[in-house]
Amino acid sequence: MKLVVRLLLLVALAALGFWLWTIFFPSPQKVIHARLVKLAELASFTQNEGNIARVANVERMGALFGTDIEVIIDIPGVEAHTFNRRDELMQAAMQARSALSALKAEFPDIHITLAPDKQSAVADVTLQAKASGQGDLIIQELKFTFNKQGGPWLITRVETVKTLRR
């Protein structure tokens, strides 16, 4: 009987250790997934967002990107844009917040492929966005490239994926 109790305690302790390991040292895929979810949250805003919150959220969103980036956005029905620096992207985000009264963005479908060197990754995502005053939901496939060069995983490239629906 004592042996069974000891084995159960050992299994429970091993499970607790594994759980703590995954909490303190999450996989790159889990970190990237969390950063994409955070990006969608920060890109979303309501008409009640104050000026301080607006600036803070854009700054927090910018922190998810590298300094030198390549963002190529070409969504049907919307003017195409290319950004090469993080500050250009942040300025455009501020302008979007001024032009729209509200935006809800989410990435319901995220697939992450880690490079063999574990220093870069590609995330294929589906963007679902709804801007206030627009009847249609924007659905667009995007490809994010992440790099980790001695620091956090940062977005270095974003591009729209051309689909057959175009």
- The pair phi, psi for residue 147, each rounded to 5°, is -130, 145
Tell me what pLDDT residue 165 has: 54
Task: Tell whether 19 is covered by a domain.
Answer: no
Q: Is residue 22 part of a domain?
A: no
What pLDDT score was predicted for residue 164?
A: 64
CATH number, domain with residue 123:
3.10.450.50
Mean pLDDT value across the chain: 89
Cα 33 to chain centroid distance, Å, stands at 6
**Model confidence at 130: pLDDT above 80:** yes
166: confidence class by pLDDT, cuts 50, 70, 90:
very low
Asked whether residue 16 is domain-assigned, the answer is no
Does a structural domain hold residue 18? no
The whole-number pLDDT of residue 22 equals: 67
Q: What is the pLDDT of residue 116?
A: 95
Range of the domain at 113: 27-160
Evaluate whether residue 130 is within a structural domain: yes
Task: Tell me, yes or no, whether 12 lies in a domain.
Answer: no
Please tell me the distance from the alpha carbon of residue 37 to that of residue 35, in angstroms, as a whole number: 5
Number of independent structural domains in the chain: 1
Instruction: Answer yes or no: is 1 within a domain.
Output: no
Residue 122 lies in a domain: yes
pLDDT of 38 above 50: yes
Residue 41 has pLDDT above 60, yes or no: yes
Where residue 77 falls (left for φ over 0; alpha for ψ -120 to 50; beta otherwise) is left
The model's pTM is 0.83
Can you give the chain as a three-state secondary structure string?
Answer: CHHHHHHHHHHHHHHHHHHHHHHHCCCHHHHHHHHHHHHHHHHCECCCCCHHHHHHHHHHHHCCEEEEEEEEECCCCCCCEEEEEHHHHHHHHHHHHHHCCCEEEEEEEEEEEECCCCCEEEEEEEEEEEECCCCCCEEEEEEEEEECCCCCCEEEEEEECCCCCC
Residue with tokens 């109790």: 5
Q: Which of residues 134 and 158 earns the better pLDDT score? A: 158
Mean pLDDT of 56-81: 89
